[in-house]
Amino acid sequence: MVKIPSGAVPPRLCVIEKLNGETEYGYNLHAEKGRGQFVGIVDANSPAERGGLITGDRIFAVNGHSIIGENHKKVVERIKANPNRCEMLVISEEGAKLYQEHNIPITLDLPNVERVSQKVSS
């Protein structure tokens, strides 16, 4: 069993769904050597914002598949596999560094993963 350091921010499994004919998820996907894939700007009132994505989040899995070591094109393919719904395992940059310092890989198997479902504003 993995021992999560006290005060560690839990990774979030964000469920991003397009509603009522929305055509975009509403965020930019970026990649950098040594940093991996991460979330750029998140549009206000977008499926990405409702699903819990935050600008700067590092992405570790898409639709149940680890994306560690995958190239940008492959990650885009995974995101587009379902045209209306995507699940992404993410964590803040600071959170990712803490797990890395403790040699804890960020995976869907961690006991503290929080599932974030749609927040629809009324």
| pLDDT of 118 higher than 80 | no
d(C-alpha 19, C-alpha 4), whole Å: 36
Residue at 13 is within a domain: no
Residue at 100 is within a domain: yes
pLDDT on residue 122: 42
Residues 6+ apart with CB under 8 A from 35: 58
For 70-100, write each residue's pLDDT tens digit.
999 999 999 999 999 999 999 999 999 999 9
Residue at 5 is within a domain: no
Question: What CATH code is carried by the domain that includes residue 66?
Answer: 2.30.42.10
What is the rounded end-to-end Cα distance, in angstroms, of the chain?
Answer: 41
Residue at 91 is within a domain: yes
Residue at 48 is within a domain: yes
Residue at 64 is within a domain: yes
Total structural domains within the chain: 1
Residue 39: both structure tokens together: 């979330």
Domain limits for position 70? 21-104
- The bridge status of strand 65-66 relative to strand 36-42 is unpaired
| pLDDT of 4 higher than 70 | yes
Question: pTM of this prediction?
Answer: 0.93
Residue at 117 is within a domain: no
The burial class, CB within 10 Å (0-12 / 13-18 / 19+), for 87 is buried
pLDDT on residue 119: 57
Residue at 116 is within a domain: no
